[in-house]
Chain A
Amino acid sequence: MVAFPHYLFPAFCGDFNCFRPGQRGFAFYIRTFLIMPVKTNKTKLLAPAGSIEMLRAVFSCGADAAYVGPLGWSRRRARFELDDSSIKEAVDIAHTQGKLLRTAFNTFPASSEISAGLKKIGMFLKMGVDGFIMTDPGFISLAHRNFPQAQIHLSVGASALNKEEFDYYYKMGVSAVAVPCELTLKELKTLKEKSRCGIEILVHANRDYTYLGRCTMSSYSSHTWIKDKNNKNQFYGSPNRGGLCYRICKLPWNPKGPRQWVKSCYPAVKNGLGNNAYFLFDDIPAYLKMEVDWLKVQGREYSIPLIKEIISFYRGIMDMAFAGGSACKDKVMRRKINELISWRDKERDSMTSQLLKEGCN
């Protein structure tokens, strides 16, 4: 199938930001136009949608699918989640454009809420939702038993690390796994070869110094459990349970202990213990060659213009690679990613300050 690359004709796709000075060079368009990308690869691009506007934007920029969070059930604030009627609207938008829509139930809910969660899954299936991102093994198991037709993708919050674990989840009904960003290319190749689960790579996400889903530092610092107006449990401070991570590890730390230890970790700990967002770039051609099933961009909480640029960027890299080119050698693309990094960091730093204020007061 011949693609209609949005980045060649951005105005047709409503992507007027692509014309901003300094965002992309003329040479990039010429080079890409001459290559005439052809989609033959099965890897798809999965984008975040923290709102209906973001959903429309990411589809206009070339995302193959988007994921949304049902209100109260995902690892983001309520303002980046959608209520049931908006999810119906999102499904219609996606399907009208030939795209897919996933919903994220990527938290460990309270036991008493599982039956409500199953009802929601049933309702979303009737609406036409194409897949579910889930974390809790028991919830996954029940969802598969009740709705064997549902496509279940394991959230990165489950931190599935090895081929045996992939198989454990496969037998439970999981069809694809979002792999922790710590896994190496070699490990991914093995998983791709030996596991029956599809593979989802997070090309833009956060990387903490702890494994995702295996950290309770935020709720150790500050945790509040309330029931909201919809009678849904909210665990503020616990990202595993759907509250936000207060990014406590980004605080400046003072070491105490043996002199050699203090000397070795100071001043590194003044800048936190390690919690940064990343963009994957150089390894993308290898992932595409390996035919991973999905490249996923995290970021429902970021601004729509930034997410549009990120999706356009990855769409561009993927299409270049499908056509036999390599974006990694492309100076324009390299410059572009540096611009995206500073834009993203600016937005993230502002969010981090706010979160630390909430989590430490």
Chain B
Amino acid sequence: MFELNTSIFTLKELKNTDISAYDAVYLGDPFCRQYEDNLSENYKDLKSAISIVKDKGKKVFVSTYAVPRNSDLKAVEKTFCLAAKLKADAVEIQNYGVLRMIRDIIPKMPVHAGSLANIYTVATAQKLKADGVKRIKGNYELCLDELAELKDSSGLETEVLLHGKMILGISEYCLTKKWLGKKTGDCQGLCRKNNCLSSRKLVLNNFGRVTLSGKDMCMIEHLPLVLKKGFRVFRLETFRETRGYAAEVGRIYKGAIQEALGSFKYQPRKHLLKLKKFSPLGFCNGYYFATSGQDYIHSQK
């Protein structure tokens, strides 16, 4: 009836996370190839991780590197070939070069296009459908109405982010390493810690090569609207969060979606209060209501 998914970057995180609330998991860090034990790069771990997720009766998707240069293409090819061999349910791409490679090498592999693929228009969604893409995630800058238009006009599964940090930018280099004065080698896992940068009213979570929103996107109050628009594939971004975040936030949303689908008297307040303790920097709705990404609008009801 609906799919709730999240992303997990390492085997260790997978083993330490209760994923019972989720129907599917994206494996691997698409932002940094050097991220320690990144499942997209550690093929032995990827094999174990796929098998763990499948044994739990969940769908498993494998993420590929978002910004590959020529020198990265061989490693990316190895990742998606292994994903196909291990019978992952789909491969997620953010780069059209990778899409082209998959179509050439494993034409039947289902492909999902992620938020960094810059899908802004129905025309692009239709082009991707013609290229064999099965699922899309519109750019974060699209509002809910535009995402619904993408879904309805293209006929593609359209995933929406319901909760968690939004990706605001991806860099060529790791800022953490740059600041530490390291060109290569160990970055001491500092990007796994809770680093943030603030300026005036703005807070960013800076995690090395990827910059995330400080606030958590939170759509718990607006679930009935999201469901009314026909969305049924939902992402909760839980990577690099504190232990327990993925499990608890997943449980809250799973219950809330079931409640919103089954009852006319959906009561989001209790869910919102529970979620607040996981988001010290506050909530936002992203661009879903055509506002600034960091704004939060309460439900009218």
Q: Give the interface of A toward B (CB within 8 A).
A: 108-111, 114, 136-139, 141-142, 158-169, 172, 182-183, 187, 190-191, 208-211, 213-217, 219-225, 235, 237-238, 240-241, 248, 251-258, 260-261, 264-265, 268-269, 273, 360
Contact = CB atoms under 8 A, between A and B. Distances in A.
B120 A136 contact: yes
Interface residues of B, number: 66
B190 A260 contact: yes
B135 to A, nearest CB: 17
A261 B70 contact: no
A76 to B, nearest CB: 18
Contact of A210 (B171, B202, B293): B171
Interface of B, secondary structure class, is: mixed
A360 B198 CA distance: 13
Contacts of A142: 123
Interface in B197-221: 197-202, 204, 211, 213
B98 A136 contact: no
A108 B73 contact: no
B83 to A, nearest CB: 17
Interface stretch (B42-50, B173-181, B225-233, B257-265): B173-181
B184 interface: no
A190 B70 contact: yes
B195 A257 contact: yes
A187 B121 contact: no
A216 B169 contact: yes
Given A136-B121, A214-B169, A164 B69 contact: no
Nearest to A191: B70
Interface in B219-248: none
B170 A214 contact: yes
B36 to A, nearest CB: 16
Contacts of B149: 111
Contact of A164 (B73, B150, B211): B73
Contacts of B128: 137
Among B153, B201, B290, the one with the most A-chain Cβ atoms within 10 Å of its Cβ is B290
Nearest to A220: B293
A225 B290 contact: yes
Given A216-B168, A216-B169, A248-B199, 8 more contacts: A136-B120, A164-B101, A210-B169, A210-B170, A215-B169, A220-B213, A241-B120, A256-B195
A339 B195 CA distance: 39
Given A241-B120, A256-B198, A258-B193, A162 B172 contact: no
